[in-house]
A and B are shown apart, each in its own frame.
Chain A
Amino acid sequence: MSGWLTSVIALVVGDREADRVVPPTGFTATLTVFTSAAMAFLAVFALALSLATDRLADRWAAELARTSTLRISAPAGQLGPQTEAALRLLETTPGVASARALTTEEQRDLLTPWFGAELPLETLPIPQLIEIVEEGDGYDPTGLRARLQAEVPGAVLDDHTRWREPLVEAASRLRGLGIVSLVLIGGATAAMITLAAQAALAANAQVIRVLRLVGAQDAYIARAFVRRFTLRAMAGAAIGMLAGLLGILLLPRADIAGGFLTGLGFRGTGWLLPLLIPPLAGVVAFFATRSAALRSLKEQS
């Protein structure tokens, strides 16, 4: 167990001697740098997706849970009294912070997008809307519906849960997909680096033979490859991460709309998370190369 620990230390301290024994060139170098750059680039977006959907889920859940709407449809004469009755009832309902009947102007504003500004609202049988703001854990919708049915026959309670839940559900599914993507990207990186390391080990069979001849132990030989692949993976991941961040920085900003697509960036300390990608790529490369090297040294003996 102290074997890999000393490897990590030698790596961090930077034993430059260790990888000189392996020829520095080769196709696998480019392959490793390119792969980890591409993977880091994708990881930045998967991370942004996860964080954005996380925020979205929170916001939707918070916003939609706090308000609901009561709609009262009644013949012209009854609309006023029923509204009053509903407001009185809501005042005494636990979990309701406030209830307020929308003014004619507000209702007109709501309908303008569909019917135009010239709508003669007063002459139409338009339902009255009451906006309910909840407090604490909110009210009990079933109980409220029962009381409304008895006292305000024209009232329909729209507590948003019907369409809120699938939205929150979708957002948290997306967040989960983002996390799964990150894990898959990590796994794919490990696989690619394992293949590249195996190719390098096979290509350097002669080097390994010479090292064995002069009494190098497996750990020493493995370290030469591990150090090189770890540094390459980290360098590639740093390039990919910067490119990914640049891509996200260049996304159009439209905070007013607050839409999902325009909200894909990082916020505040969230910008620090992508910085973890290169070291993580290094850790993945370290273990992938190490196990590939030790395995192939065992087979080549």
Chain B
Amino acid sequence: MIELRDVAYTYGRGELFAGINLTLAPGSFHFLTGPSGAGKTTFLKLCYGELISTHGTVSLFGKDVRDMTRDDVALSRRRIGVVHQDCQFLDHLPVSENVALPLTASGRHAEIEPNLSDLLGWVGLSGQAAQRPPQLSGGERQRAALARAVITSPDVIIADEPTGNIDWEMSQRLLTLLVELNRMGKAVMVATHDLNLIRAAKAQVQARVLRLKDRQLQAAGADL
């Protein structure tokens, strides 16, 4: 569904990475690790069309990102749930409306009611539904961001360090949610430093672990 061919990216002073080939197929589960500053966030942005590769091609659902209009990118975003590292919300709307925003923005109002409260319950935010995002703690914001990313039941879920500020118990819950969605056939890609999380996942699903290091994307060693 998402395909990268010989991809390189640079912000202008030297390539962050180059020669990357990767396919995110339905039902696949990938972890992305690597030192801070290696380019994980940048790599994920290429995968959902926020950035355009400086070399090679990225195609979303069979279409080259380079040939897509803004509205085309918007349409494919509806099939890709993204958890941003810096969790961006509309701060003037309550958490519940923020989580429902992908459905609102694509006119799928009928799906809000049956999904919203279950999902908020699952990520442990039922009690915070009426609060504004700035009132939430870092961990709560990350959970809200994950809920927003999956509410449309997207084909692909991309999460950038989704468990950074979350306690172990809650991150297990979030992982279970991702695993369940993956079993439904969705492609999942998670950037994380959390080796325990990766181990816990490997116990439940067939997950590939990738490592961004020295400008290359490598399969991580067997130590995981």
Contact = CB atoms under 8 A, between A and B. Distances in A.
Interface of A: 17, 20-21, 23-24, 206-207, 209-220, 297-298, 301
Interface in B76-99: 76-78, 82, 84, 88-93, 97
Counting chain A CB atoms within 10 Å of each CB, the highest count among B90, B93, B105 belongs to B105
Nearest to A214: B102
A214 B148 contact: yes
Contacts of A297: 70
A24 B82 CA distance: 27
Interface string B95-119: 0010001101110010000000000
B200 interface: no
A215 B88 contact: no
Given A20-B97, A214-B105, A220-B105, A209 B88 contact: yes
Contact of A301 (B70, B90, B102, B104): B70
Contact of A213 (B71, B82, B92): B82
B184 interface: no
Contacts of A298: 70
B74 interface: yes
B75 interface: yes
A218 B70 contact: yes
A24 B92 contact: yes
Counting chain B CB atoms within 10 Å of each CB, the highest count among A209, A210, A218, A220 belongs to A210
Nearest to A210: B88
A223 B50 CA distance: 22
A23 B93 CA distance: 8
A21 to B, nearest CB: 6
A215 B106 contact: yes
23 contacts: A21-B101, A21-B105, A23-B90, A23-B92, A207-B90, A209-B88, A210-B88, A210-B89, A210-B90, A211-B101, A211-B105, A212-B70, A212-B77, A213-B88, A214-B102, A214-B105, A215-B74, A215-B76, A215-B152, A216-B74, A217-B71, A217-B75, A218-B74
Interface residues of B, number: 25
A20 to B, nearest CB: 7
A156 to B, nearest CB: 79
B74 A21 contact: no
Nearest to A18: B104
Contacts of A20: 93, 97
A23 B90 CA distance: 8
A215 B82 CA distance: 10
A121 to B, nearest CB: 86
Nearest to A21: B90
Contacts of B76: 215
Contacts of B109: 17
Counting chain B CB atoms within 10 Å of each CB, the highest count among A217, A219, A301 belongs to A217
A214 B70 contact: no
Contacts of A206: 88
Closest 8 CB pairs of A and B: A215-B77, A216-B105, A215-B78, A214-B102, A23-B92, A217-B74, A217-B71, A210-B88
Interface string B161-173: 0000000000000
Contacts of B148: 214
Interface string B43-86: 00000001000000000000000000011001111100010100
A212 B90 contact: no
Contacts of B82: 213
B71 to A, nearest CB: 5
B125 to A, nearest CB: 17
B89 to A, nearest CB: 7
Given A209-B88, A214-B77, A216-B74, 9 more contacts: A207-B90, A210-B101, A215-B74, A215-B75, A215-B78, A215-B105, A217-B74, A218-B70, A301-B70
Nearest to B80: A215
A212 B74 contact: yes
A214 B102 CA distance: 5
Contacts of B50: 213
Contacts of A213: 50, 77, 82, 84, 88
A220 B105 CA distance: 7
Nearest to A300: B70
A17 B104 contact: yes
A211 B76 CA distance: 14
Contacts of B105: 21, 211, 214-216, 220
A219 B88 CA distance: 21
A217 B84 CA distance: 19
Contacts of B70: 212, 217-218, 297-298, 301
A55 to B, nearest CB: 52
Interface in B23-42: none
